[in-house]
Amino acid sequence: MRPSKRPSSDHVTFLLRGTVSFTLLLVASWFGTPGTQRAWAATIHVTPSDDYSLIEAARPGDEVVIAPGTYQYRLYLDQQATETQPIVIRAEDPDNKPVWDLGGQPVGDWPGSYSAGDKGRGAWQITGSHYVISGIVFQNCQDASSSGIRILGGSDITIRDCLFRHNTNGLIGSGENILVEFCEFDSNGKTASSGNMTHNIYIYGGTITIRYSYLHDSTEGQNFHIRARDATIEYNWITRPGSYPGDVMSCGSLCGGTGSDPITQNLTLRGNVIIQGHPENQSQIIALLNDDQGGSNDGTGAVGTMHLTMINNTIIGTPRNQGQTHVLVNMRNDTVQTYATLHNNIIVDIATLAAARQPDLKNWGVDGSTNWVTTGTDCSSADVCLPGSDPGFNDPTNLDFTLRADSACVDQADDSIQGIPQWEYYQNETVTRMRRPRNDAHDLGAFEQGNDSQAEGPYGGGPNPNPDGGLSDGSASNDGSTSDGSVSADAAQGDGAASADGGTSSDRSSSGCNCRSESSGSGLAWFLIILGLVGLIRRRRQK
């Protein structure tokens, strides 16, 4: 009988080392090393029976798919994802959106991991980066200063196809490269006015783009209240504000300005339909107001210049009685330089193009090129007006502001300017939150006469949702820009790059899947694992 051979201490040591090495390689292949991508991205399915921890646990590259139903807890999203490995949080069925409803008690009293004193400021609070959120309803967050989503220093956040209704504020916060598209903001604002006014959208710092969205019926404040360093609001339908449509107010120190190095705040309004909607508003459409508390009134504030650019908007005021003051752009500043540039707009039933409310204000001005205005509009502030009695809308009574072939606004645009529109909002207040290409910009206003381009919604061609979440034109590019010059916070599409829902064109079908996609760096890890196994087998044979 052959005696058994006990393993030597060297053999045991080798086996232990091999086991540890193998385990470490597996861990490395799963989690990746600092600065590399994980080998797999998880798909996390969430139902109303789950709590906040499941969504908050998502890591870069993961996709969170949320089932229909009502959810009543808060979220705190603080992961630092990347452009190529975003964290995607989306509705399982965009036609049956999950609803975050925090009504019935203070927002901060609902369950959630975040416990600081400002925990009630938003149903979802975001401090992380590269989140792509789509197909969610946020409603009834009605604390004194709460919101559906609050961004607090986050960056590269995309919010797509979401509905914000009956919250104190719809969206609030500050972040870099925030993109809001194909969303609706409906009747946000406090139900009983007390304290500071609240708004459909209130941004206080950073940069933001809002496009292809429907903003309406803010309960008490503005449809957009912007304190951003740079903001672009384009191809939206904006109507019936609680006070006036929107404004730019100083962000000063919030945007990094100082008395010795003041900032310039820029707001671009392009291709929007803006309807005053409430005849009781006798003052303004857009206000530029410096209320910066970071400096004195002697020119040492943190804001040096405010600049509003309006390109190809259709703006509908309300008829005024003789002597009533109603201004398109209201300069309400003291020492800040304030300018408005107006190109190719249609401006109906507005008494005055631009004015300064301080009689002694000297450092303001208006320039631009042809804008159609109702006859009698005071254009003395700038020679940029084309007066007329009828802009030639197809059916304004039924909110059809497209142009007739005989409209006085056809072929009047200066299409040599920088930033001409490449899209149109489609269509009105019944068919909402869609866009279509604008191949030419020869006409004034938000719509090109005779445009019959195919419209598309948030998930591609036509209004029908596509669970893959991509846009059919592939307009996003790797450098974060889009074909229309605005900022995009989502990743590029096509050729295997990440799509808007975090997948890639090579590993996702239109119906979606629970796939895990391997990163480009995982091949080396698997090669090392196999090499280690081969070495272990050879060593055992030698023994």
What is the rounded CA–CA span in Å between residue 334 and residue 266? 18
Which residue range is the domain that position 62 belongs to? 42-243+454-502
Query: Dihedral angle at the C-alpha atoms of 327, 328, 333, 339, nearest 10 degrees?
Result: -140
Q: Are residues 213 and 321 in the same domain?
A: no
**Domain count along the chain:** 2
Is the Cβ–Cβ distance between 67 and 88 less than 8 Å?
no
Computed over its alpha carbons, how large is the radius of gyration of the chain? 27
In this structure, are 214 and 268 located in the same domain?
no
Residue 85 and residue 227 in one domain: yes
Count CB-CB contacts under 10 A for residue 263: 22
Specify whether the CB–CB gap between 453 and 437 falls below 8 A. Answer: yes
Within-domain flag for 515 = no
Q: Residue 506's CB: how many other CB atoms inside 10 A? A: 10
CA 325 from chain center: how many Å?
34
* Within-domain flag for 37: no
Last residue of a domain, one of 469, 485, 502: 502
Please give the share of the chain, as a percent, with pLDDT higher than 70: 71
Residue positions counted in the chain: 543
Q: What is the rounded distance in angstroms from the CA atom of residue 54 to the CA atom of residue 437?
A: 39
In a domain, 330, yes or no: yes
What is the C-alpha separation between 323 and 332, in angstroms, rounded? 20
Give 156 or 537, the one with higher predicted confidence: 156
Q: Average of pLDDT values for 336-347? A: 93
Q: Rounded mean pLDDT of the chain?
A: 80
The pLDDT value given to residue 283? 78
User: First and final CA of the chain: distance in angstroms?
Assistant: 20
Share of the chain residues as helix, strand and coil, in percent rounded to the nearest 5: 10, 35, 55
381 — pLDDT class (breaks 50, 70, 90): confident
* C-alpha span between 409 and 448 (Å, rounded): 10
212 and 89 co-located in one domain: yes
- Domain end call among 396, 421, 446: 421
Q: Is residue 426 part of a domain?
A: no
**Is residue 510 a part of any domain in this protein?**
no
Q: What is the mean pLDDT of residues 456-467?
A: 68
Judgement on whether residues 348 and 489 belong to the same structural domain of the protein:
no
DSSP strands (E only) in 272-419:
273-275, 284-289, 303-311, 314-316, 327-332, 337-343, 346-348, 352-356, 364-368, 371-374, 385-388, 393-395, 400-403
pLDDT band at 358 (very low <50, low <70, confident <90, very high): low
Compute how many other C-beta atoms are within 10 angstroms of the C-beta atom of residue 22: 15
124 with 159, same domain: the answer is yes
Nearest to 133 by CA among 202, 64, 184: 64
Alpha-helical runs (H) found in 9-143: 9-31, 52-56
Question: What pLDDT is recorded for position 508?
Answer: 29
Average pLDDT over residues 119-137: 98
Report the DSSP beta bridge partners of residue 99: 70, 137
Dihedral pair phi/psi, residue 424, rounded to 5°:
-130, 145
Confidence of residue 100 (pLDDT cuts 50, 70, 90): very high
Q: What is the pLDDT of residues 195-250, one digit of tens each?
A: 678 999 999 999 999 999 999 999 989 999 999 999 999 999 999 998 899 999 88
Residues 124 and 211 reside in one and the same domain: yes
Give the C-alpha separation, 118 to 112, whole Å.
12
Is residue 5 one of the residues assigned to a domain?
Answer: no
pLDDT at residue 542 is higher than 60: no
Structure tokens at 345: 């707009």
287-291, 490-494, 526-530: least confidently modelled range: 490-494
pLDDT average, residue stretch 484-500: 33
Q: Are residues 177 and 308 in the same domain?
A: no
Question: Do the bridges between strand 63-66 and strand 75-77 make them parallel or antiparallel, or are there none, so unpaired?
Answer: unpaired
Q: Distance (Å, rounded) from C-alpha 146 to C-alpha 140?
A: 10
Question: 483: domain CATH number?
Answer: 2.160.20.10
- pLDDT score of 45 more than 70: yes
526, part of any domain: no
Contact 494, 20 (CB under 8 A): no
Residue 311 and residue 383 in one domain: yes
- Contacts for 399 with CB less than 8 Å, ≥ 6 apart: 428, 429
Whether residue 346 sits in one domain with residue 486: no
- Same domain for 125 and 173: yes
Give the pLDDT score at 362.
66
In the prediction, which pLDDT does 401 show? 98
pLDDT for res 67: 98
Q: Please tell me whether residues 116 and 163 are part of one structural domain.
A: yes
Domain final residue, candidates 399, 421, 443: 421
Does the residue 329 lie in any domain? yes
pLDDT for residue 147 is more than 80: yes
